[in-house]
Amino acid sequence: MKPIGTKVEYSEERVRDLMRVYDMYIASCKYINMAELYKTIVNQPSKRFWVSESRCALVISAIMRGEDVLNTMWPTKKEMFLELYRRVSALQIEYPNKTMIELCTMAIYQKAPKFYISPGTAKVMIVKYRRKWRVEKMRRLRIL
C-alpha cells in the first residue's frame, strides 16, 4: 500500500525521541548490556506514534472497510496500526462529527506505548545519529 522509496516524514524528530529514551536508559544503568539495550528502549513509551496523518488515515480507513492491508506489514507496524485503529474507533464514538484525518491526527499525537520498531532498526538509527552528531561537533570545533 505504501509506495516504494517513501521517506519517513518525521525521521529527525523520531530519532531525537529515541535518543531521549536511549540517554535515560544509559543514565539509569550501572552496567550496560548492549544486547538488552536496544530491546529495552524500543519497548519504552514514545511521545507519539511515528506515522503521518495521511498514512494513518489511509490504513485505518482501509481496515474499517474490511480490506486486508495488514497482511503485508511487518509485525511491529501491524501492531501499531491495530493500536491506532483501536484509538481512532474510540475517538470516533466520542467525536462523531470529526473527519477521519482529524481523528487520526488526534490519535497519533497521543503517547504511544512503544516505538514500534525492531531493536535492529533502533540500533541503525542511533548509530547514524551519533555518527552525524560527531561529524557536526567536529565541524563546529574546526570553525571555532
* pLDDT tens per residue across span 22-42: 999 999 988 888 879 999 999
CA distances to 22, 30, 126 from 27, in Å: 9, 8, 16
Residue ranges making up the domain that contains 141: 10-45+114-144
d(CA 105, CA 6): 20
Same domain? 41 vs 58: no
* pLDDT tens per residue across span 113-125: 999 999 999 999 9
Indicate whether 83 belongs to any domain.
yes
pLDDT of residue 8: 60
Indicate whether 2 belongs to any domain.
no
Indicate whether 135 belongs to any domain.
yes
